[in-house]
Structure 1
Amino acid sequence: MNNGLRRIVYDYLIQTRMDAITASYLNALILFVGIVLVVGLLDYIIWKVLRFASVNFARRSSTNFDNFLVVNKVPRYVAHIVPLLLLYELLPLAFLDFEYAEGIVLKTIEILAVILVLLLIRSLLRSIKDYLKTLPHMKDKPLDSYIQVFMIFAWIGGLLTLFAVITDTTIWKFFTALGAASAVILLIFKDTILGLVASIQVSINDMVRIGDWITFEKFGADGNVTEISLATVKVQNFDKTITTIPTYSLISDSFKNWRGMEASGGRRIKRALLLKQKSIKFLTAENIETLKGIQLISKYMETRNTNIDTYNKEHGIDKKIAINGRNLTNLGVFRKYVETYLKNHSAINQTMTLMTRQLPPTSEGIPMEIYAFSSDKRWENYEYIMADIFDHLLAALPYFELEVFELPTSMDVYLDKVRDEKGE
Structure 2
Amino acid sequence: MNSFKRDIYNFLLNAGVAEETARYLNLFVMLFALLILIFIIDFIIRKLLLQAFSRFAQISKTNFDDLLVANKVPRNIAHIIPFLVALKFIPDIFEDFYDVEVHVENGLQVFAVLLTLWVVRSILNTLKDYLKTLPRFKDKPIDSYIQVFMIFAWIIGFLSAIAIITDIAFMKFITGMGAISAVVLLVFKDTILGFVASIQVAINDMVHIGDWITFEKYGADGDVIEINLATVKVQNFDKTITTIPTYALISDSFKNWRGMSNSDGRRIKRALFIKQEGIKYLTDNEVDKLKKIQLISTYLETRQADITAYNTNNKIDKGLLLNGRNLTNIGVFRKYIDVYLKNHSAINKDMMIMARQLAPTTQGIPIEIYAFSSDKRWENYEYIMSDIFDHLMAALPYFDLEIFELPSHSSFKN
Q: Fold-level match, TM-score > 0.5?
A: yes
Kindly report which structure 2 residues correspond to 1:7-406, keeping only aligned pairs within 5 A, or say none. Answer: 7-406=6-405
> How many angstroms apart in 2 are the aligned matches of 1:402 and 1:171?
84
Give the Å deviation of 1:17: 4.3
Residues in 1 aligned to 2:64 and 2:231: alpha-carbon distance in whole angstroms: 27
Distance 1:414 1:75 in 2: 83
Cα distance in 1 between the residues matched to 2:107 and 2:383: 68
Q: CA deviation digits over 1:300-338, x for unaligned, max 9? A: 111111111111111111110011111110111111111
CA distance in 1, matches of 2:214, 2:21: 75
Runs of 4+ in 1 over 6 A off after TM superposition: none
- Structure 2 CA distance for aligned equivalents of residues 398 and 19 of structure 1: 115
Q: Provide Cα deviations, 1:332-361, integer angstroms capped at 9, x if missing partner.
A: 111111101111111111111111110000
Shift of 1:410: 5.8
The structural deviation recorded for 1:181 is 1.6
Other-structure match for 1:418: none
Query: TM-score if structure 1 supplies the norm length?
Result: 0.94
Q: Call closer, same or farther: CA 1:409–1:48 in 2, change over 3 Å.
A: closer
In percent, how many aligned pairs have the same letter? 61
- Root mean square deviation of aligned Cα: 1.6
Task: Give the total of aligned pairs.
Answer: 414
| Separation in structure 1 between the aligned mates of residue 195 and residue 170 of structure 2, nearest angstrom | 23
Q: Aligned AA for 1:348?
A: I
- Following TM superposition, by how much is the alpha carbon of 1:413 offset from its aligned partner in structure 2, in angstroms? 5.7
2:367 is the alignment partner of 1:407: no
Compute the displacement of 1:43 (Å): 1.4
Alpha-carbon distance in structure 2 between the residues aligned to 1:410 and 1:3: 104
* 1:170-207 deviations in Å (ceiling 9; x for gaps): 22223222222222222222112212221222122221
Q: Which moved more, 1:375-384 or 1:400-409?
A: 400-409
- Contact kept, 8 Å, 1:92 with 1:105, in 2: the verdict is no
SS at structure 2 position matched to 1:181: helix
1:297 and 1:20 mapped to 2: Cα distance?
A: 116
Q: How far apart are 1:23 and its partner, in Å?
A: 2.8
Greater shift, 130-139 or 320-329, is seen at 130-139
Q: Distance in 1 between matches of 2:180 and 2:104?
A: 32
User: TM-score when scaled to structure 2?
Assistant: 0.96
Which amino acid in 1 is paired with 2:291?
K
CA contact (8 A) 1:28 1:94 kept: yes
Amino acid at match of 1:162: A
Structure 2 unaligned residues grouped into runs of 5+ = none
For 2:308 and 2:43, the matched residues in 1 are separated by 102
User: What's the secondary structure of 1:328's corresponding residue?
Assistant: coil
SS at match of 1:321: coil
- Mapped partners of 1:291, 1:9: distance in 2: 115
Change (3 A) 1:401 1:97: same
Shift of 1:114: 1.1
Quote the Cα distance in structure 1 between the aligned partners of 2:16 and 2:329: 123
Taking the aligned partners of 2:202 and 2:169, their CA distance within structure 1 comes to 35
SS at match of 2:206: coil
CA distance in 1: counterparts of 2:232 and 2:239, whole angstroms: 16
Once the 2 structures are TM-superposed, how far is the Cα of residue 159 of structure 1 from its aligned partner?
Answer: 0.9
Query: CA–CA distance in 2 between the matches of 1:383 and 1:92?
Result: 76
Give the deviation of 1:238 after TM superposition.
0.6
Given that 1:266 and 1:349 are in contact with CA atoms closer than 8 Å, whether structure 2 keeps it comes out as yes
Distance 1:414 1:8, change over 3 A: closer
Which amino acid letter does the alignment assign opposite residue 90 of structure 2?
A: L
